Amino acid sequence: MDAHLPLEDNRVLIVAPSGNDALNTEHVLRAEAVATRICQDIEQVCAEAHYGAGALLLTQEALTNHAVRHLLALLEAQPPWSDIPLILLMSGYEPDSPSFFSIKNLGNSCAVTVLERPLRVVTLVSAVKASLRARGRQYQVRDLLKLREVILGELRERAATLEASQHELMGAKEKISRHAHELEQTVAERTAKLRETIAQLEAFSYSISHDMRGPLRAMQQYAQILLEDFKGDLKPDAAEYLSRIIRGAHRMDRLIQDVLTYSRAARVAMPIAAVDLDKLVHDIVQQYPTFQPPTADVQVDGPLPRVLGNEASLTQCISNLIGNAVKFVRPGEKPKVRVFPGSINGNIQICIKDNGIGIAPENQQRIFNIFERVHHDREYEGTGIGLAIVKKTVERMGGDVGVESAVGRGSTFWIKLPAVKEQI
């Protein structure tokens, strides 16, 4: 079996039917290191050409009409890069002989070199080498074309991959935008729902403050009027009971108001700005007679720094805390309260220290929960909401609240808030 070797690309296929022409030619060419193959007829040439041919060499005797037809068919079937050199060894032919027409015909289809016999070895060798050289160029073109095909194939593959990934990308993009749209919709729906809930809550607390407090006001005032307008007619017990009705109604009213304040602290907008704490605390102390001598001593160790917070809410928090500080003292003792600043990690701490009854460790967290109380109303009255309001409000301002205390040794409540970055 003939394997197709690169060697065969450069061999010369020889057809020389008469005498020793074939062997002689082969001998001469091999001496010049040219590969050769002797073929018996044109059919064999066509078969061998399939495995590679650097050039074809035919003698005049081989150039029959039959052979020319086959050659033309072979040349016709060549790929575009191929132009097989054809060397014809003629001996004195005439322009009107059949061979002449054959040569003309073939010359239109390939590169024909005609050598006339007798010829010198050097002529034959140089003609064959020139043909092989030209053929070598064709092979280079063939290889380049092959390489081009490989590269094109690779490019096509990459283009396909690219297209696929682009397609995938588009799909993903579409998916993302669909998700984003869905998310937007969900957010819009939730926001609408939330707004509705807030509106309902507002309507609810509005209703509480108006409709529920109305009857309470009525109870309290009718009892007061009874006490006032029918003083002489009332037995002492009756007067006492009326006072209790008044106290009950009053307490209920305060409870409702505190719950409303708490729910407002949890939901209203709380714009944050720089607050002058020093002025705020002094204003509070001046505003409440219970924070002043002779009832209490509230000392402010100023100047207190400026903090980031909401002024109205902060006023409420600090009055609640000072209010607690003066309230929870041993009976008969005069409240002594000190307000002073501190700082932790760039945050401002406002401390409110009292000389009160103190808080047991197990109650120190509990007291910040809504409705949690440590004492009975007859000892220290209150609704159990004040500190919950403080906690909720301070947290909404981005701060923190806490207490350090020991039973019988007073308490120090503190509020921690972001400091104002002062410009120099």
Q: Residues interacting with another protein, by CB under 8 A? A: 206, 209-211, 213-214, 216-218, 220-222, 224-225, 228, 249-250, 253
Q: Read off the DSSP letter of residue 379.
A: T
Q: How far is the CB of 207 from another protein (least distance, A)?
A: 9
Q: How would you list the strands of the sheet with 297-300, edge to edge?
A: 297-300, 336-344, 347-354, 411-418, 400-405
**Least separation in angstroms between CB 253 and another protein:** 6
Nearest distance, CB of residue 221 and another protein, angstroms: 5
Sign of the C-alpha dihedral, residues 354, 360, 361, 362? negative
Query: Rounded to an integer, what is the distance from CA 134 to the centroid of its chain?
Result: 62
**Nearest CA-CA partner of 350 in 393, 304, 285, 394:** 304
H, E, C per residue of 61-126: HHCCHHHHHHHHHHHHCCCCCCCCCEEEEECCCCCCCHHHHHHHHHHCCCCEEEEECCCCHHHHHH
- Which residues is 351 bridged to in the sheet? 340, 414
Q: How far is the CB of 166 from another protein (least distance, A)?
A: 56
* Phi, then psi, of 164 in degrees rounded to 5: -60, -45
Least distance to another protein, CB of residue 385, Å: 17
Token pair 């921690």 in the structure block, residue: 416
The torsion defined by the Cα of 187, 190, 191 and 194, in degrees rounded to 10, comes to: -160
- Rank residues 242 and 329 by Cβ distance to another protein and give the closer one: 242
Other Cβ atoms within 10 Å of 100 Cβ, number: 13
Residue 200 CB, nearest distance to another protein (Å)?
16
Nearer Cβ to another protein, position 195 or 409? 195
Q: Which is nearer to another protein, 253 or 278 (CB)?
A: 253
**Closer residue to another protein in complex, CB, 214/408:** 214
- Cα dihedral across residues 235, 236, 239, 240: positive or negative: negative
Please report how close the Cβ of residue 232 comes to another protein at its closest, in angstroms.
18
Minimum CB distance to another protein, residue 419 (Å) = 29
Q: Which of 306/396 has CB closer to another protein?
A: 396
Q: For helices 21-31 and 121-207, what crossing angle results, to 10°?
A: 70
Q: Nearer Cβ to another protein, position 51 or 222?
A: 222
Q: Which is nearer to another protein, 44 or 224 (CB)?
A: 224
CB of 273 to another protein, least distance (A): 18
Q: In what order do the strands lie in the sheet with 86-90?
A: 36-38, 12-15, 55-59, 86-90, 112-116
Count of positions (residues) in the chain? 424
Smallest separation, CB 268 to another protein (Å):
9
- Please return the burial class of 199, using the count of CB atoms within 10 Å of its CB with bins 0-12, 13-18 and 19+: exposed
| Type of residue found at 397 | M
Report yes or no: 7 and 35 within 8 Å, Cβ to Cβ.
yes
* Measured distance CA(93)–CA(219) in Å, rounded: 146
CB of 246 to another protein, least distance (A): 9
Nearer to another protein, 70 or 213 (CB): 213
